[in-house]
Amino acid sequence: MSLRDRRVVVTGGGGALGVAVVRELVSRGASVRVPAHSERDVEALAGIERVSITPNVDLADEASVVAFYDGVGSDGGAELWASVHLAGGFVWGSIVDATIADLRRMLAMNVESAWLCAREAARRMTKGGRIVNVTAKPALVPASNVAAYAASKGAVSTLTTCLAEELAPRGIWVNAVAPSILDTPANRTAMPDADFDAWPKVDEVARTIVFLASPENAVTRGAIVPVYGRS
């Protein structure tokens, strides 16, 4: 899979999955742009070549997202080829203990960010391209105590399949991956007694995402690809 000299945006690029995706893209020759939310994101990407980081971007804020994508094309270089939307968040707990703020936070972090980034990316992909979102297993397989999160990721799944239809005539393939529980330091801390070997590794999921974002993905669009490993 070659992405030599292709320009790719990765939101959430400083997160656990994001760093693995950025490394995989760079290893395939891509030039990567990351909107950083916090100093933690900037630090996580330090030292990786061919990564350009834009600080202080809030992907749930329309003006912030538009300004970021305007900046991606401002140097007159290659047109945006792919936009990979990993930024998002999680909340756990029973609905009887939840607040409306919990639901709104999930919708902002997961749905609004993906919708805004897909719009801005599509506006700039005049020669075709690739968009990859990330949803989650509970959006496909019902589970307890994740209703707000799963509802927001279900919306990301529907966004993905509808945009795949809408943007196909323009040569823009839209897909998503649906992880179960990723093997990340945060999940190991939260679930110390789990079978970590069963969880998909971020490097493994990154390779699936990079395939979907690559020109080698010649025909796959509108897919919600399960990346569950044995979990």
Ligand X SMILES: NC(=O)c1ccc[n+]([C@@H]2O[C@H](COP(=O)([O-])OP(=O)(O)OC[C@H]3O[C@@H](n4cnc5c(N)ncnc54)[C@H](OP(=O)(O)O)[C@@H]3O)[C@@H](O)[C@H]2O)c1
Residues that bind ligand X (CB under 6 A): 12, 14-18, 37-38, 40-41, 57-60, 86-90, 109, 113, 134, 136, 179, 181-182, 184, 187
Please tell me the distance from the alpha carbon of residue 123 to that of residue 203, in angstroms, as a whole number.
30
Smallest gap from Cβ 171 to ligand X, in A, equals 26
CB of 59 to ligand X, least distance (A): 3
> Shortest Cβ contact with ligand X: which residue?
15
Between the CA atoms of 146, 152, 154 and 159, what dihedral angle is there, to the nearest 10 degrees? -170
**What token pair was written down for 187?**
């999940």
Please enumerate in sequence order all residues whose Cβ is within 8 A of that of 191, keeping only pairs 6 or more positions apart, or say none.
181
Output the smallest distance, CB 131 to ligand X, in A: 14
Residue (3 or 87) nearer to ligand X, CB: 87
- Token digits of residue 5: 């000299």
Active site positions, annotated: 149
Strand partners, 80: 7
Nearer to ligand X, 88 or 129 (CB): 88
Nearer to ligand X, 65 or 76 (CB): 65
Which of helix, strand or coil describes residue 215? coil
